Amino acid sequence: MVRLTIDGKEVQARQGEKVLWAALDNGIYIPHLCAIRGAEEPHAGCRLCFVEIEGRDGLVTACTEPAVGGMVVHTSTERVKRIVATVFELLLASHPVDCAHCLRSGGCELQRLARFLGIKLKSRRFRQLVREFPIDDSHPAILLDPNKCILCHRCIWTCRQRGIGALGYINRGFERRIGTFGDMPLAEVGCEGCEACAQVCPVGALAAKR
């Protein structure tokens, strides 16, 4: 075990444990969307878990940074807040904020994060650049709306973890989305309807129809 300080609080963590988990285990919340405990390597894609570490120049992502004895971590300096707010607003600006009609509303992690960060869901700072991919309604149990997806990778990881692997990525850049092999309907790619993806989806991109 190593001892480190996060936001002035001395905490203990296993040697090599990532700072993110060390903080969460000790009741210190750091925003994150893509981190999966137990994944072999961190996805490090959402870029929300930035922290400042004394003695280090730039900001680092807490999900990739191993805890080291004596480390002093700050999770909400002005620099951290500014970058995290901007990255989060970028997600919102490309997310159809239509909570009234969303199956996930109430349990949505974007709503929770917005509250935590003190940011309005309908951000006005950036241009609204929403995507217009077709919605996959083919499966009896699962609804796939790639337009709501924030590409956190959790569904893909979970689906593969269960040995199914029905989900993957399609396209590059802004057109990047979750989808199926050959872009076939979800009902035709061996999805068993276990709903594990819907359970881990932070937003309403994958939702259980029941």
* Contact pick of 163, 172, 182, 210 for other proteins (by CB under 8 A): 172
Q: Which is nearer to other proteins, 184 or 208 (CB)?
A: 184
Binding of other proteins at residue 23 (CB under 8 A)? Answer: no
CB of 16 to other proteins, least distance (A): 12
Half-sphere exposure for 207 (CA within 13 Å, toward CB): 21
- In this structure, are strands 50-53 and 72-74 parallel, antiparallel, or unpaired? antiparallel
| 29 near other proteins, rule: CB under 8 A | no
Interface with other proteins, residue 18, by CB under 8 A: no
Please give the backbone phi and psi of residue 74, each rounded to the nearest 5 degrees, phi first. -120, 125
If phi over 0 gives left and psi between -120 and 50 gives alpha, with beta otherwise, what is residue 151?
left
Provide the minimum distance between the beta carbon of 197 and other proteins in the complex, in angstroms, as a whole number: 18
CB of 101 to other proteins, least distance (A): 23
Long-range contacts at 53-61 (CB < 8 A, ≥ 24 apart): 53/19, 59/83, 61/20
Residues 6+ apart with CB under 8 A from 163: none
Site residues, other proteins (CB under 8 A) = 41-48, 50, 58-59, 61, 64, 82-83, 86-87, 90-91, 93-94, 125-127, 129, 150-151, 168-169, 171-176
